Amino acid sequence: MSEPLLEVSGLEVRYGGIHALRGVALKVNAGEVVALIGANGAGKTTTLKAVSGMLKPAAGQVRLYGKPVVGLKAHQFVALGMAHAPEGRGIFLNLTVAENLDLGAYLRRDKADIKADEEKYLALFPRLKERWTQVAGTLSGGEQQMLAVARALMSRPRLLLLDEPSLGLAPLVIETIFSVITAVNKEGVSVLLVEQNAHKALMISHRGYVLETGKVVMEGTGKELLSSPEVQKAYLGG
Amino acid sequence: MSEFLQHIVNGVSVGTNYALIALGYTMVYGVLKLINFAHGDVYMVGAFAGYFIAHAIGVAAEGYEPSLFNTALVFVGSMGVCALLGYLIERLAYRPLRDRPRLTSLITAIGISFLLEYGFQLPAWAGLPIEFPPGPSPRFFPELFPRTVWLEVWDVAFSNYDVIALGTALALMLALQFIVYRTKFGVAMRAVSFDPNSAALMGIPVDRVISITFALGSALAGAAALLMAISHPRIDPLMGMMPGLKAFVAAVFGGIGSVPGAMVGGILLGLSEEMVAGYALSSFRDAIAFAILIGVLLVRPEGLFGRRTSEKV
């Protein structure tokens, strides 16, 4: 097996006196969808933020294609092939849908390919096309989430970090977004998916990790976790 | 009628000047949510930079022949000095405090303001090719080109100074408007203004965007200072205080953070000052700006073009 795309080990984060992550270890191999599930406050979002440079970890290693990346600034990760669609979607509500999507390709110079990619994601999310020139503040939550996913993909990442893409959305919209995640994964984008909706997340994931109070307490393939009694009891209402 | 028109001309002329300074306040507020109270003093430094450059290229010398090239050199040089100063202020004073409470930066801004105002009043250092710092007594900005009346309509005189000041100011505002709303950098700037953390996730180098924003805003203050200095040539180290405060009022009036707001706010403020001075009491000229500030804060705190910030989750 070749080197993992992303390898996190011993990751610790503190917010003031709160010890949010206590040595998280996980990895994402090329071509995988990996789910990170857990209860509220388990440290899922914090893990993503520490991986993508939004937070400074107190200790631990993050390696992207084997290169240590702790200490890089958040904006440097895009050039390394990683995109992060953050908690709360991070849409620029003062900009138009078009401007938001273009920003996803901020570092790219290949105008023609950018246009082609835009067309591709607009075809996946036709709702965005209808709202192309509108200010993003007028979008519904579902449309904002579609925009966030499409925008993250516009940088042509090899690794996509998604934070709760299903939060607060209607079931049909969730279906759309998860099918897009599966589709881009088939094209070779690896995904680290943070989800409250453990069942949905594990269904489309190759592997998963269960996070509890800042530690990984269980890991396995999507199927293993889905059928594990502990996971069923804690997260799937079994 | 002609008196009224003359007041309009004067008001717009002063107003565009406020507008140029107000743009600096509003741009910096946009990206950092910081009122850069040193901005009026950057304006002052712009006037002195122009003064020293003009002397260095012999504008004040006997028998100087006005030339467009030299005039442009003074303008561009002074805008460049201001841009550099704005960049340095942000880099050295504000950036290290970026993660601290907002109040810390605000107090630092006042500190920088005092540093420039009183630093420039120190006696000149020995051994410098220019007389710097310039000291407390006023200086006279050399005449870049003589004043002539270009146009008279209904007894209203339009001098070449008025026309050039208005033309330059409008051109700079249009250029800024273009940068902010039509270029990739402008989109990045507006993204940083909305949410710097998400902007970084797009690969936008947030620190660089903030630096360039400071440099642009400060360059506009430099241009404003020169446009003012050619018609009101008395310059001194405290000259930035009043225009700085009034431009701040103009920015709040128009809606702080809004580029068109700063332009409209500046021009409206200039007009109201001129009207109050012309038809009521000239000693109320300064009071009207602050009356407007109080009025805006009471009635429409977000300003003419501002958006009400709502905490939507």
Residue A13 lies in a domain: no
Half-sphere exposure of B236 (CA within 13 A, CB side): 9
Whether residue A95 and residue B203 make contact (CB cut-off 8 A), yes or no, is: no
Residues of A in contact with B188 (CB under 8 A): 103, 106
Q: Residue B289: give its domain's CATH number.
A: 1.10.3470
- Is B8's Cβ below 8 Å from some Cβ in A? no
Give the chain B residue nearest A76 (alpha carbons).
B203
Mutate to test the interface with A, among B201, B207, B312 (most CBs of A within 10 A): B201
Residue A134 lies in a domain: yes
Q: Residue A86: give its domain's CATH number.
A: 3.40.50.300
ipTM of this complex prediction, to 2 decimal places: 0.92
Residues of B in contact with A110 (CB under 8 A): none
**Which tokens sit at B37?**
């109270």
Whether residue B194 and residue A95 make contact (CB cut-off 8 A), yes or no, is: yes
Residue B103 lies in a domain: yes
Whether residue B202 and residue A73 make contact (CB cut-off 8 A), yes or no, is: no
Whether residue B203 and residue A155 make contact (CB cut-off 8 A), yes or no, is: yes
Confidence (pLDDT) at B232: 92
Q: Is B217 left (phi over 0), alpha (psi -120 to 50) or beta?
A: alpha
Residue B313 lies in a domain: no
Residue B308 lies in a domain: no
Whether residue B201 and residue A52 make contact (CB cut-off 8 A), yes or no, is: yes
State yes or no: pLDDT of B278 exceeds 80: yes
Residue A120 lies in a domain: yes
Identify which of B190, B205, B307 has the shortest CB distance to residue A75: B205
Identify which of B193, B200, B313 has the shortest CB distance to residue A74: B200
Residue B307 lies in a domain: no
Please state the domain count of chain B: 1
d(Cα A41, Cα A59) in Å, to the nearest integer?
20
- Compute CA distances A95 → A102, B180, B208, whole Å: 11, 12, 20
Residue B242 lies in a domain: yes
- Is B190's Cβ below 8 Å from some Cβ in A? yes
d(Cα B112, Cα B108) in Å, to the nearest integer?
6
Residue A60 lies in a domain: no
Residue A6 lies in a domain: no
Residue A151 structural domain: 31-53+74-235
Please state the domain count of chain A: 1
Residue B98 lies in a domain: yes
State yes or no: pLDDT of B284 exceeds 70: yes
- Residue A76: exposed, middle, or buried by beta-carbon count in 10 A (0-12, 13-18, 19+)? middle
Cβ–Cβ contacts within 10 Å for residue B222, how many?
30
Whether residue A54 and residue B187 make contact (CB cut-off 8 A), yes or no, is: no
Q: How confident is the model at residue B311 (pLDDT cuts 50, 70, 90)?
A: very low
**Which tokens sit at B242?**
């009043």
How does pLDDT run across A143-156, given as a tens digit for each residue? Answer: 999 999 999 999 99
Q: How confident is the model at residue B257 (pLDDT cuts 50, 70, 90)?
A: confident
Give the chain B residue nearest A53 (alpha carbons).
B201
Residue B55 lies in a domain: yes
How does pLDDT run across A13-63, given as a tens digit for each residue? Answer: 999 889 999 999 999 999 999 999 998 889 999 999 999 999 999 999 999
Identify which of A73, A83, A99 has the shortest CB distance to residue B187: A99
| Mean of all residue pLDDT scores within chain B | 92
Residue B277 structural domain: 2-299
State yes or no: pLDDT of B312 exceeds 50: no
How close, in Å, is residue A238 to chain B by CA atoms?
31
How does pLDDT run across B149-181, given as a tens digit for each residue? Answer: 888 887 888 888 888 888 999 999 999 999 999
Residue A210, classed as helix, strand or coil, is strand
Residue A139 lies in a domain: yes
A212-218: long-range contacts (C-beta < 8 A, 24 or more apart)? A212/A38, A212/A39, A212/A42, A213/A22, A213/A41, A213/A42, A213/A43, A214/A13, A214/A19, A214/A20, A214/A21, A214/A22, A214/A23, A214/A24, A214/A42, A214/A43, A214/A46, A215/A21, A215/A22, A215/A23, A215/A24, A216/A24, A216/A25, A216/A26
Mutate to test the interface with B, among A45, A56, A87, A92 (most CBs of B within 10 A): A92
Kindly give the confidence (pLDDT) of every residue in chain A, 238 residues in length, as a single tens digit, with 9 standing for 90 and above: 578 999 999 999 999 889 999 999 999 999 999 999 998 889 999 999 999 999 999 999 999 999 999 999 999 999 999 999 999 999 999 999 999 999 999 999 999 999 999 999 999 999 999 999 999 999 999 999 999 999 999 999 999 999 999 998 999 999 999 999 999 999 999 999 999 889 999 999 999 999 999 999 999 999 999 999 888 888 776 5
d(Cα B51, Cα A168) in Å, to the nearest integer?
61
Enter the pTM of the model: 0.90
- Nearest Cα residue to B271 out of B38, B14, B51: B14
Residue B209 lies in a domain: yes
For chain A, the distance separating the N- and C-terminal CA atoms, rounded to the nearest angstrom, is 35
Confidence (pLDDT) at A105: 96
Residue A20 lies in a domain: no
Residues of A in contact with B194 (CB under 8 A): 92-95
Residue A65 lies in a domain: no
**Which tokens sit at B60?**
């004040």
Residue B303, classed as helix, strand or coil, is coil
